[in-house]
């Protein structure tokens, strides 16, 4: 089982579901597989911990990153770079759009409706069942409906991102896998992949998994921690 | 309750509910708006109320009104918003109304920036508003600690009949960490019928309670302020909290640091220890009252050459550290105040230069 997307991937999900960490690691994963990758930070609603924080490592890995102009990076304003519509119209081999949290954060996608017109996209909803509001199937379905309405796009697949940062145990990942697989069945959507921190990979019983695993090397860390090496 | 992954702002909101507070009035401002967003969803589920005021000034008087009726009530804001509330906070201190205030600090002065800062230290600990008053100020260093401090703030506000502040920097509000909530503390405030306008019929009394901060008679006002002074002295005696770090070692430098800044210092201390240099730290968990004795006693170690206050402000806590050290050792300062959090490497360089 392998994770391999081509074309446009839109990452959505509730606040703090781990969209940005997933987007950054997914970008690096595809780049390491030899594909040309471009990523855009569309998070217009969150002031801290956005994919722009990982711009250094993305540049080093030869991943094209589309951001608002440098002078507006810390502005408390919803700045959408005009380059984003262009990158949707002429996508790179892999084009990742990291949207903001909840339906509010997904609203920006509706503003890009003209650019999306006629494009095939993967819209992945990231789910961490260890977060408030998405710890029940009902909560996840509500979030999915709200995001789809705001984005005027439909979710095409799910990503299981169960974790408690440094306190995650392999059991949490397996429980999260079961939860997201159940949700996928109810939605009639594929569970595209789940994630696991690299140091937990070896302890996971892959026989029990029905989908591939994206190894996470954490990049968005507080100032007293070091980002994982890639 | 099982661990969950929460943003500090969300966790503070949930902690207030768990502490039995069902009244939340606020006005949005980055980087704490997620508290309002979270509670707008959560409070209706538990029969509570979130009401957005038309400004922070209005919010401060909504708090005063609710607290004066004996209701548990709280607000959250960030630096410029807290300044706007200062008048109402002074009235609540004067009228002895218990209230919990959360300041998730951003850079200043003025609009400043939206990134983390600790530049409201003096405002919080010395004089948040006009008049002669103080309040208990807790400074959490993790999301878990923000939860615990928020939960303990409500009973303490009621015990002292005084505002209590949770002073966190932007990172405390914005970062996510696993948290566990202690059991619910949904007790009723015990002493509210003695003073609050809870209703004479309801409490079976023939005497109305009056909540006020106006004392036109100079003798009465002096008496009132002496009573408040005694209350603040009780806080200084009973409520000091701090965490020692590596103070058992033969440290050469003593760091005083609080909030998320102290976590950078902790990493720096661990790294320096691995390099063979011992450094100790006193981390104030309450910044009013300040752990004066702990800092003074920590400077007694013979090998300790210097003391340094490390903070995300231009030396606001430094004055408290100097006061506590009483001239026994040289006191230095290091910090940044633009929103960038100093890195462990920067702290290590500064500390190394003081060790010799």
pLDDT greater than 70 at residue B29: yes
How large is the average pLDDT for residues A7-16? Answer: 95
A47 chain-B contacts, CB cut-off 8 A: 30-31, 114-115, 170, 174
Last residue of a domain, one of B191, B223, B238: B238
Same-domain pairing of B208 and B306: no
B258 chain-A contacts, CB cut-off 8 A: none
Smallest CA–CA distance from B6 into chain A, residue = A131
How many CB pairs below 8 A link A and B?
74
Same-domain pairing of B201 and B259: no
The full DSSP string for A28-70 is: HHHHHTT--EEEEEE--S-SSS-GGGGHHHHHHTT-EEE-S-G
| Per-chain mean pLDDT for chain B | 96
Confidence of residue B186 (pLDDT cuts 50, 70, 90): low
Q: Report the CATH number that the domain containing residue B39 is assigned in CATH.
A: 3.40.50.970
A224 chain-B contacts, CB cut-off 8 A: 260, 263-264, 266-267, 344
A164/B3 touch (CB, cutoff 8 Å), yes or no: yes
Q: Is A173 strand, coil or helix?
A: helix
Same-domain pairing of B297 and B198: no
| Number of compact structural domains in chain B | 2
Go through the domains of chain A in sequence order and give each one's CATH number.
7-216 (3.40.50.300)
Smallest CA–CA distance from B172 into chain A, residue = A222
Same-domain pairing of B268 and B224: no
Q: How far is CA B152 from CA B44, B285, B336, in A?
A: 23, 13, 31
Same-domain pairing of B131 and B16: yes
Q: Report the CATH number that the domain containing residue B272 is assigned in CATH.
A: 3.40.50.920
Among A16, A76, A224, beta carbon nearest to B7 = A16
At A191-219, the pLDDT tens digits run 999 999 999 999 998 888 999 999 999 99
Last residue of a domain, one of B199, B219, B238: B238
Distance between A75 CA and the closest CA of chain B, angstroms: 8
Boundaries of domain holding B303: 243-355
B105 chain-A contacts, CB cut-off 8 A: none
At A58-111, the pLDDT tens digits run 999 999 998 877 777 777 777 788 889 999 999 999 999 999 888 988 999 999
At B1 the pLDDT is 64
CA atoms of B75 and A88, how far apart (whole Å): 42
- Percent of chain B whose pLDDT exceeds 70: 99
Same-domain pairing of B234 and B289: no
Whether the CB of A133 is below 8 Å from some CB of chain B: the reply is yes
Same-domain pairing of B38 and B67: yes
Same-domain pairing of B216 and B187: yes
Last residue of a domain, one of B216, B238, B260: B238
At B184 the pLDDT is 66
At B204-224, the pLDDT tens digits run 999 999 999 999 999 999 999
At B75-97, the pLDDT tens digits run 999 999 999 999 999 999 999 99
Same-domain pairing of B220 and B269: no
Whether the CB of A215 is below 8 Å from some CB of chain B: the reply is no
Confidence of residue A42 (pLDDT cuts 50, 70, 90): confident
B174/A165 touch (CB, cutoff 8 Å), yes or no: no
Distance between B264 CA and the closest CA of chain A, angstroms: 5
How many other C-beta atoms lie within 10 A of the C-beta of residue B41? 13
Same-domain pairing of B187 and B298: no
Token pair in block for residue B122: 């003096």
Same-domain pairing of B66 and B104: yes
Same-domain pairing of B81 and B166: yes
Q: Is residue B178 a contact partner of residue B5, using CB atoms and an 8 Å limit?
A: yes
Whether the CB of B229 is below 8 Å from some CB of chain A: the reply is no
How large is the average pLDDT for residues B188-196? Answer: 87
């Amino acid at each position: 089982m392998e994770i391999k997307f081509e074309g446009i991937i839109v990452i959505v999900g509730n606040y703090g579901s781990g969209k940005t960490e997933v987007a950054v690691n997914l970008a690096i994963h595809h780049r390491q597989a030899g594909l040309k990758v471009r990523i855009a930070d569309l998070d217009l609603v969150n002031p801290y911990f956005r994919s722009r924080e990982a711009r250094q490592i993305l540049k080093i890995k030869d991943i094209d990153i589309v951001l608002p102009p440098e002078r507006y990076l810390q502005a408390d304003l919803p700045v959408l770079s005009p380059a984003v519509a262009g990158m949707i119209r002429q996508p790179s081999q892999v084009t990742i759009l990291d949207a903001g949290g909840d339906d509010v954060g997904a609203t920006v996608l509706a503003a890009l409706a003209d650019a999306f017109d006629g494009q095939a996209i993967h819209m992945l909803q990231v789910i961490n069942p260890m977060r408030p509001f998405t710890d029940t199937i009902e909560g996840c379905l509500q979030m999915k409906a709200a995001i789809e309405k705001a984005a005027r796009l439909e979710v095409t697949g799910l990503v299981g991102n169960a974790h408690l940062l440094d306190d995650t145990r392999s059991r949490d990942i397996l429980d999260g896998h079961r939860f997201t697989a159940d949700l996928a069945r109810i939605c009639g959507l594929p569970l595209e992949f789940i994630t696991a921190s690299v140091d937990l990979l070896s302890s996971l019983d892959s026989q029990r998994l029905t989908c591939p695993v994206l190894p996470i090397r954490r990049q968005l860390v507080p100032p007293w921690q070091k980002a994982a090496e890639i | 309750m099982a661990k969950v992954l929460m943003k500090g702002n969300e966790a503070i909101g949930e902690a207030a509910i768990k502490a039995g507070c069902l009244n939340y009035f606020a006005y949005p401002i980055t980087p704490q708006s997620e508290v309002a967003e979270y509670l707008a969803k959560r409070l209706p589920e538990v029969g509570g109320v979130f009401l957005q005021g038309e400004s922070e000034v209005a919010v401060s008087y909504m708090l005063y009104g609710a607290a004066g009726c004996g209701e548990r009530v709280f607000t959250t804001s960030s630096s410029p918003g807290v300044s706007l509330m200062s008048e109402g906070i002074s009235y609540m201190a004067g009228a002895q109304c218990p209230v919990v205030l959360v300041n998730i600090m951003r850079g200043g002065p003025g609009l400043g920036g939206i990134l983390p800062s600790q530049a409201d230290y003096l405002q919080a600990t010395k004089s948040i508003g006009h008049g002669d008053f103080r309040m208990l100020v807790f400074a959490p260093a993790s999301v878990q600690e923000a939860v615990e401090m928020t939960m303990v703030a409500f009973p303490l506000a009621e015990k002292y009949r005084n505002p209590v502040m949770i002073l966190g920097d932007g990172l405390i509000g914005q970062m996510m960490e696993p948290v566990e909530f202690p059991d619910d503390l949904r007790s009723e405030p015990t002493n509210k019928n003695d003073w609050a306008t809870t209703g004479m019929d309801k409490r079976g009394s023939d005497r109305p309670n009056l909540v006020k901060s106006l004392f036109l008679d100079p003798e009465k006002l002096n008496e009132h302020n002496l009573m408040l002074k005694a209350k603040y002295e009780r806080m200084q005696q009973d409520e000091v909290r701090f965490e020692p770090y590596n103070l058992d070692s033969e440290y050469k430098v003593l760091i005083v640091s609080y909030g998320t800044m102290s976590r950078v210092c902790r990493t720096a201390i661990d790294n320096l220890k691995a390099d063979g240099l011992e450094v100790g730290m006193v981390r104030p968990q309450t910044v009013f009252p300040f752990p004066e004795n702990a800092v003074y006693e920590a400077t007694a170690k013979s090998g300790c050459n210097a003391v340094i206050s490390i903070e995300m402000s231009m030396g606001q806590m430094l004055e408290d550290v100097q006061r506590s050290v009483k001239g026994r050792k040289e006191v230095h300062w290091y910090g940044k105040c633009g929103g960038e959090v100093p890195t462990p490497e920067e702290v290590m360089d500064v500390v190394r230069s003081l060790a010799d």
